[in-house]
Structure 1
Amino acid sequence: MENDLKLKLEQLHQRVDALKDQINTEEATKNAFVMPFIQIIGYDIFNPTEVIPEFISDIGTKKGEKIDYVIKKDGEPILIIECKHWKEKADAHNSQLHRYFHVSKSRFGVLTNGHVYNFYADLERPNIMDDKPFFTLDIANLKESNLKILENFTKQGYNLDSILDSAEALKYIKAIRSEFEKELQEPSDELVKLLVNRFFEKPLTASRLSTFREYARRAISNSINESISYRLKNALSMNDKIPSQQQEETILPIDENIETVKAITTEEEVEGSQIVKAILREVVPSARIAFRDTQSYFGVLLDDNNRKPLARLHFNFSKKYLELFHNGKDNGEKKLLESLDDIYKYRKELLATVEKYQQNYLVTESSNTVS
């Protein structure tokens, strides 16, 4: 079920990407993007007892207010959906969904722009929609954990008790993670005091607090970078089983004086770099292939030399690109990747890049010999 759901959502994402520039209205967004999503989660959009478009709801003194979609199961509303144009944010601020939720018997509401789906509940006050979603699904960035949650909303797998049991946890884990990430970027006075008071016995003056804030920021940066480096080295070691000394040579060393975290290596970047490395090892030893992660891209280098880029992975956005350097240009040529397996399509170009550097080396060595 989960794999089938993922495949259909990936196909929907491709559809959204291909058609969005031609979608000029909210109504077109609903028809082209949202209705297919409702079908994907198992509901019959042509059955008016199951999916009711433009559901009329009286809200206080306002008569005839309409909800974009109401989904029913066993005759009871289980989900209300409000749609926005795909260019708008799927943000519930000043949204009609708040008002719809109040008069609906449904426990869940969805606000969507066709590619991001925000799921809301009434965890804080009964029958009043929470200000923040407990679950967000972005079809451009599908995660296994999110697919498991979405399964509980499908017609076949709908489980109210299961959703309610996990909704509160999802809501507050998301909120805690958001606050934690803020602290990583800019430690608050509260966090600095909490840490420093455990080992520093003197009074914390404003000047000392400012100094310790900078120390805390650097300490957190170093800790995260070392953790990433350790995980990356382990991943490479598992794949290649090369000696530890060579393994260390392929990893960007940790700068003890680093001030901020410039990049965070993702699992996709590790996996993508390993595909590139597997191709390159046909013609070059593993120890000569190095990796460097930056804020903009994940780089693959020959001999850990910035002047010898083999490829760059641009995975920080919804669309993923492989940058190639086989034409001998300083700026590479970007290729759109639908999946990581698409990297194998560019085997010839990757090998050509290595050959280019080796030919340049031979020419240089020949010139030095003649001299």
Structure 2
Amino acid sequence: MPAASAPTIRSRRQFLTLLGISAAAVSCGTATATGPGPGSGSGSQVKTLKYQGAVGSVSLPELAEDLGYFEDVKLDWVGNTISGPQDIQSAATGQTHFGSAFNGAVIKLASTKAPIKAVISSYGSDQYSYGGYYVLEDSPLRSARDLIGKKVGMNTLGAHYQALLDIYLSRGGLSKADAAKVEPLVVPPVNTEQSLRQKQIEVGVLTGVLRDKALAAGGIRPLFTDVELLGPFSAGTYIMTERFIKQNPDTVRTFVTGVGKAIEWSRTTPREQVIARMTEIVKKRGRNEDTATLQYWHSYGVAETGGRITDKSFQLWLDWLGERGEIKQGQLKAADLYTNEFNGQGKG
């Protein structure tokens, strides 16, 4: 594979520009602007939720709908998302009714005074579903200090995997000056294994099917994984605008509780049955998608029962972004970023 081109290796500043949404832009959206005013009965609430999907995969809301957990609420697919920040931007500006992203990206969006609220966890890391930072089997890299001057390939900058890298370096005793000498680069996930094996990067972040395929081929080993670093944790959430939540409380409750039930169904149902159900869902929607990668599904990785959100889900990233100067220290409180009010799953 040729060396990564300039457009591929993007700066953190370019990435974070995706999140530069003003509150004014949020108020003039389309999807979230529809619906009744405060105090309206459930009969006049929005019952069809516009959303973005992902090729060849089944999101928790899609699973919940297929399992019948949404009752009279239906989903309306409007296309596929290109990234978490783009997905929540679409929800914040009213192009869709909900979106999912890394909690650090949710914080960045909230810091622009966008009136959004996280309503349920969407993904995370556990013993079955995690992100690993891999090196070649014969690599001399064994510790955080060994990464000084080395290249680390990941799917995007300024998000989940750069945050975990920074935490790993900090816990490894590196000063900010030394940590700055470690070079995170954007490498498309499908090219990460090849870039690592061809020694264009010294460390590559691999997840899901791409991780499993690379491990099956042999010759690589994990330097560390995110779940080893932090333990099981929920890393992302579904967000909605505060306006939509206020105008459509019954719909939001049905959606959130349904997603919570789907999380527990996926957790307690034999893996083969979950994969079979997902395969049926992908085939039924008729978008000419390959279902082969579904065989590598292990878990959604959500840590808490029913996807209920905790302060911990946001505080780690609040601290990280504050230390980096991405947000003002103390600007936001974890408890103000989310609500469990509409989640009837996992109470108590």
Q: Same fold (TM over 0.5)?
A: no
Give the TM bin, normalised by the shorter chain: under 0.3
Higher relative contact order (CA 8 A, sep 6+): 2
TM-score by length of 1: 0.23
After TM superposition, the score normalised by the length of structure 2 is 0.24
